[in-house]
């Protein structure tokens, strides 16, 4: 970018600063806070796009505006509340506060649980589960052998594949298998439009997780958190991605059997991730989660239809075969639609009947697989290329 662009941004920041000062004089502290933080963001953009001579000055001004916004009356209620912790995580200079209802305090999203699911609860996908056992579970369940051979527990795992294939369920089962505290966080909960806060949220998340002997951080749609920086065009992502990478660098410090952290990311777009996160020491393990196989489809059908009035003429083997190419979410949806047909008839006519094979055939005639063959081919190519 040229210095002209930086000058325009700097001018916009000055105009925003005037609005902030005017709002503060009116005691409209909410408007003042918003304007101060917007001015700070503009100055940061100007610092990145302008010459080196003015960069430090603009960065300092941006930090001063954040501090000024924080000092306004009642600003504390917009700051993220720290999660209960033995030691407070270090805070970066000049973090900005949240100023709208879409941004949640950390106490709202930094929630933990201990999942009861195990791999036996995951339908099929035996090859996927075995890969995860070998690479991640065994160092926890066999700590003496792992210590002997220098294998460390924890690390990064990327699960990728079509949507609706059970990646979230697998992540919960992993935490259940090793009796770990489970953090399920959405990128939208971490991200913030205000200067420095997204990085602070990431730091808070990892610091809180590391306080447990065993913890699993799970982030679905992780490509939204670590996209290719050159393509994102976002000044925020230019700071967030390095912060994530810095946190992932600490994975190799925990020996098997002691405190250990797993970071599990799930994505339907593995090719959209920043290449730096795919290097050793970050997402060390990458597992392709394909569409459900025959065993998984049969199990999903049985789970979806249990305790429902299914006619004995429904051929489970034929139905399982007919659902080849459908995702797990598709199968659950198709079973629900098929069961809805006799329900609607019973309401309209008063005649009750069982769910027939014809009901499934009627639904399948209208509902096509949500994952196209061309998309599957793209996943296969990515899996082969590693």
The pLDDT tens digits for 357-385 are: 999 999 999 999 999 999 999 999 998 88
What lies within 8 Å, CB to CB, of 196 at 6+ separation is 66, 92, 94, 95, 96, 239
Residue-level pLDDT at 269: 93
Whether 377 maps to a domain, the answer reads no
Domain membership of residue 225 as a residue range:
106-288
For the segment 225-234, the average pLDDT, to the nearest whole number, is: 68
**pLDDT of 101 higher than 80:** no
Q: What distance lies between CA 118 and its chain's CA centroid?
A: 21
Q: What distances in angstroms separate CA 115 from CA 21, 24, 216, 256, 260, one per listed residue? A: 50, 48, 11, 21, 17
Choose one of 223, 253, 288: the last residue of a domain: 288
Whether 365 maps to a domain, the answer reads yes
Say yes or no: 259 and 306 in one domain. Answer: no
Q: Alpha-carbon distance 98 to 77, whole Å?
A: 9
Say yes or no: 155 and 72 in one domain. Answer: no
Q: How confident is the model at residue 335 (pLDDT cuts 50, 70, 90)?
A: very high
What CATH number does the domain containing 346 carry? 1.10.8.60
Say yes or no: 125 and 40 in one domain. Answer: no
Q: Alpha-carbon distance 2 to 46, whole Å?
A: 10
Say yes or no: 240 and 357 in one domain. Answer: no
Q: What pLDDT digit, counting tens, does each position of 296-305 carry?
A: 999 999 999 9
Choose one of 226, 261, 288: the last residue of a domain: 288
For the segment 137-144, the average pLDDT, to the nearest whole number, is: 88
- What Rg value do the Cα atoms of the chain yield, rounded? 26
- DSSP, collapsed to helix, strand or coil, labels residue 174 as helix
Q: Alpha-carbon distance 224 to 84, whole Å?
A: 27
**pLDDT of 243 higher than 70:** yes
Most confident of the following: 84-88, 205-209, 340-344: 340-344
Residue-level pLDDT at 371: 93
Q: What pLDDT digit, counting tens, does each position of 291-326 carry?
A: 999 999 999 999 999 989 999 999 999 999 999 999
**pLDDT of 108 higher than 70:** no
Give me the number of domains the chain comprises: 3
For the segment 189-195, the average pLDDT, to the nearest whole number, is: 65
Q: What distance lies between CA 300 and its chain's CA centroid?
A: 25
DSSP 105: P
Q: How confident is the model at residue 210 (pLDDT cuts 50, 70, 90)?
A: confident
For the segment 248-262, the average pLDDT, to the nearest whole number, is: 59
CA nearest to 104, candidates 32, 36, 184, 190: 190
Say yes or no: 123 and 162 in one domain. Answer: yes
Q: Whole-model pTM?
A: 0.66
Say yes or no: 220 and 124 in one domain. Answer: yes
For the segment 1-6, the average pLDDT, to the nearest whole number, is: 51
Say yes or no: 73 and 142 in one domain. Answer: no
For the segment 124-147, the average pLDDT, to the nearest whole number, is: 87
* Lowest-pLDDT range of 136-140, 177-181, 195-199: 195-199
Residue-level pLDDT at 25: 77
What CATH number does the domain containing 66 carry? 1.20.58
Say yes or no: 192 and 56 in one domain. Answer: no
Residue-level pLDDT at 363: 97
Whether 314 maps to a domain, the answer reads yes
Residue-level pLDDT at 96: 36
- DSSP, collapsed to helix, strand or coil, labels residue 184 as strand
Say yes or no: 277 and 301 in one domain. Answer: no
Whether 328 maps to a domain, the answer reads yes
Say yes or no: 141 and 242 in one domain. Answer: yes
On average, the pLDDT of the chain sits at 80
Residue-level pLDDT at 38: 80
Q: Alpha-carbon distance 284 to 277, whole Å?
A: 9
Say yes or no: 346 and 263 in one domain. Answer: no
Whether 93 maps to a domain, the answer reads no
For the segment 281-289, the average pLDDT, to the nearest whole number, is: 87
Whether 383 maps to a domain, the answer reads no
Query: Environment class of residue 276 by beta-carbon count within 10 Å: exposed (0-12), middle (13-18) or buried (19+)?
Result: middle
Most confident of the following: 17-26, 107-116, 219-228, 331-340: 331-340
Whether 378 maps to a domain, the answer reads no
* Lowest-pLDDT range of 48-62, 95-109, 214-228, 359-373: 95-109
Residue-level pLDDT at 194: 56
Q: What share of the chain is helix, strand, coil (3-state, %, to 5)?
A: 55, 10, 35
Q: How confident is the model at residue 214 (pLDDT cuts 50, 70, 90)?
A: confident
Say yes or no: 343 and 234 in one domain. Answer: no
Residue-level pLDDT at 353: 95
375 compared with 54, residue with greater pLDDT: 375
Residue-level pLDDT at 292: 93
Backbone dihedral angles phi then psi of residue 215, each to the nearest 5 degrees: -145, 145
Choose one of 288, 322, 342: the last residue of a domain: 288
CA nearest to 308, candidates 351, 365, 361, 356: 356
Whether 90 maps to a domain, the answer reads no
The encoded tokens of residue 286 equal 């990458």
Backbone dihedral angles phi then psi of residue 353, each to the nearest 5 degrees: -150, 170
């Amino acid at each position: 970018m040229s210095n002209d662009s930086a000058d325009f941004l700097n001018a916009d920041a000055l105009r925003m600063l005037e609005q902030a000062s005017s709002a503060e004089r009116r005691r409209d502290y909410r408007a003042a806070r918003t304007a101060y933080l917007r001015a700070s963001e503009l100055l940061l953009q100007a610092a990145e796009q302008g010459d080196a001579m003015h960069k430090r000055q603009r960065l300092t001004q941006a930090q001063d505006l954040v501090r000024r916004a924080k000092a306004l009356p009642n600003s504390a209620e917009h700051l993220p509340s720290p999660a209960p912790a033995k030691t407070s995580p270090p805070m970066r200079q000049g973090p900005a506060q949240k100023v709208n209802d879409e941004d949640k305090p950390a106490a709202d999203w930094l929630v933990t649980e201990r999942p009861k699911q195990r791999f036996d609860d995951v339908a099929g996908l035996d090859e996927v589960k075995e890969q995860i056992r070998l690479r991640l579970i065994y160092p926890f369940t066999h700590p003496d052998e792992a210590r002997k051979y220098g294998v460390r527990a924890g690390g990064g795992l990327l699960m990728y594949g079509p949507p609706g294939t059970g990646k979230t369920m697998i992540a919960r089962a992993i935490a259940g298998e090793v009796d770990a505290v489970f953090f399920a966080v959405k990128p939208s909960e971490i991200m913030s439009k205000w200067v420095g806060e997204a990085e602070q949220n990431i730091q808070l998340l990892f610091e809180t997780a590391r306080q447990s002997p065993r913890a699993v951080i799970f982030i679905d749609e992780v490509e939204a958190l670590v996209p290719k920086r050159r393509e994102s065009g976002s000044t925020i992502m230019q700071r967030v991605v390095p912060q994530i990478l810095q946190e992932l660098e600490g994975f190799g410090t925990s020996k098997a059997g002691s405190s250990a952290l797993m970071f599990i990311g799930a994505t339907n777009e593995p090719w959209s991730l920043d290449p730096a996160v795919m290097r050793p020491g970050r997402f060390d393990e990458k597992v392709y989660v394909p569409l459900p196989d025959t065993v998984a489809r049969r199990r999903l059908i049985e789970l979806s239809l249990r305790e429902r009035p299914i006619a004995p003429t429904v051929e489970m083997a034929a139905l399982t075969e007919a659902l080849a190419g459908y995702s797990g979410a598709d199968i659950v949806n198709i079973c629900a639609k098929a069961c809805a047909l006799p329900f609607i008839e019973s309401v309209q006519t008063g005649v009750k009947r069982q769910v027939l094979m014809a009901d499934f055939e009627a639904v399948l005639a209208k509902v096509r697989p949500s994952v196209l063959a061309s998309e599957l081919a793209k996943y296969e190519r990515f899996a082969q290329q590693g």
